[in-house]
Amino acid sequence: MPSETAVRKPDRPTDILIPDCCNLGVVLRVLLAVNLAVAVGSLLHASGWRAGFLSFVEGSMMVELSCLWSLFALCVLRRMLPRLPAAAAPAWAQRFACVLVPAAVTAAVVHFFVSVEWLRGGFEYLTVPRGALLAALFGGLMQHYFELRTRAFSPALVEARLQALQARIRPHFLFNSLNAVLSLIRGEPRRAEAALEDLADLFRVLMSDPRNMTTLDKELRLCEQYLAIEKLRLGERLQVEWRMENIGEDVLRRAQMPVLLLQPLLENAVHYGVEPASAPAPIRVEISRALERIEVVVVNAWHGAAVVPGNQLALQNIRERLQLLYDVESQLATSVANGHFEVRLRFPYVKGAA
């Protein structure tokens, strides 16, 4: 990870401190925390638990509207930050926005509810200034929580990067690849040159920051380069079947995803599914899009429980990166059935520039 003294781009903020309020995980955490705090406050303010429960239920519409509109406003504001120069969005201004926006939204919602008699229901003791003050407090606390949570993930991200380098740049892979290229130099020099170019491209991406984003098209091209290198030494044993569903050229060009998300899955499939086999062991890769989500399924031959623990290094690395980038909106699951090991990966379809 870059240090604090690293060179920063002057034309846009490098640190976005406003939580990603469009993310389902952030929304759920905020709603849960606010509703829990309001429920506790209702119980403490009422004469009994039943009266407190009824007060919370009656005022829940006010609470949910304030939360959801505040989250929506912060979501829009966060998406505008990358377009602003760094000087226009300093850290203190972003933190202040997380306090001011909920306060303003809640003040407007409370004013509306208290001005309509039949809508007041519960929380009759709640005034506009008090509602704004409580919302500002919650906004500051939640912003601080998510900022600390992001920082807490930073060591895991550094560790994940080291794991990625150790898991990907295996000495035996480099040794075998170079030997395969050497065997081609005299008889097939052009093929050897193409293999070296693929190897150089692969290692260039392997050494990049794991937080970088790429497109589905570029990631698939990298996977094909990796498979071409492995094909030199595995020959006919390595067979890959690609299946695409609802994935057009526009999706390939625009779908954003973390770099090195699919290649490690294929590397595991080759290492644990093809290398132990003496006969052709096909790998099946299925990529589909549905409901604004991308799903990737990689299936390879299963050779027993002894080899599976090795899979966990790359899979854990991917899980950590997905959790950091997408929170609960991504999934990675594995299963063994009918003599095959399956990895199923889902993440949001985020559109980039065409």
Split the chain (354 residues) into runs of 10 and give each run's mean pLDDT.
39 69 88 89 79 78 90 91 75 91 92 70 70 92 88 64 55 69 77 82 70 85 87 86 90 87 87 86 92 91 62 74 82 88 91 64
Q: Check if the beta carbon of residue 151 is closer than 8 Å to that of residue 25.
A: no
Residues 147 and 290 in one domain: no
Q: Which residues in 230-267 are b (16+ Cβ under 10 Å) and which e? A: bbbbbeebbebeeeeeebeeebbebbbbbbbbbbbbbb
Per-residue pLDDT at 13: 45
Residues 178 and 133 in one domain: no
Residues 186 and 295 in one domain: yes
Residues 315 and 191 in one domain: yes
The range of the structural domain enclosing residue 327 comes to: 169-351
Distance between alpha carbon 283 and the CA centroid of its chain, in Å? 25
Does residue 188 form part of some domain?
yes
* Count: domains in the chain: 2
Nearest to 270 by CA among 296, 225, 239: 239
C-alpha to C-alpha distance for 346 and 323, rounded to whole angstroms: 12
Residues 178 and 265 in one domain: yes
Per-residue pLDDT at 156: 61
Does residue 13 form part of some domain?
no
Per-residue pLDDT at 22: 85
Per-residue pLDDT at 130: 87
Per-residue pLDDT at 120: 55
